[in-house]
């Protein structure tokens, strides 16, 4: 019998760094974001990358959902961005944005 090695999934924790993938057309950009608030509907995150409403993020290590859409973004004085991300339960919601 063949052994299968699975990547250990770590849930997103409040006030912690999380890896996500920003999908820009065919381009996929790996980002590390600081999760400042986390619930079943979505996240509030801090990022050095300028996220905009409508951006699609894939969180590979989240217990609730994997894909989210940036709903709002605010630039801070230190050139970081705070963004609200809502999770998408149905992938059909993502294709139509």
User: Which sequence spans correspond to the domains of the chain?
Assistant: 16-95
Percentage of the chain exceeding pLDDT 70: 71
pTM: 0.72
Q: What pLDDT score was predicted for residue 53?
A: 95
How far apart CA 71 and CA 84 sit, in angstroms, is 6
Per-residue pLDDT tens over the stretch 46-85: 999 999 999 999 887 655 547 889 999 999 988 899 999 9
pLDDT at residue 34 greater than cutoff 90: no
Residue 53, CB-side half-sphere exposure with 13 Å CA sphere: 4
The superfamily CATH assigns to domain 16-95 is predicted glycosyltransferase like domains (2.40.10.220)
Q: What pLDDT score was predicted for residue 10?
A: 47
């Amino acid at each position: 019998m063949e052994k299968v090695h699975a990547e250990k999934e770590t849930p997103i924790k409040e006030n912690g760094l999380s890896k996500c993938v920003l999908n820009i057309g065919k381009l996929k950009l790996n980002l590390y974001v600081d999760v400042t608030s986390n619930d079943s509907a979505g996240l509030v995150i801090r990022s050095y990358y300028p996220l905009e409403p409508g951006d699609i993020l894939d969180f590979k290590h989240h217990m609730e959902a994997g894909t989210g859409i940036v709903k709002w973004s605010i630039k801070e004085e230190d050139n970081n961005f705070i963004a609200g991300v809502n999770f998408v339960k149905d992938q059909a919601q993502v294709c139509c944005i």
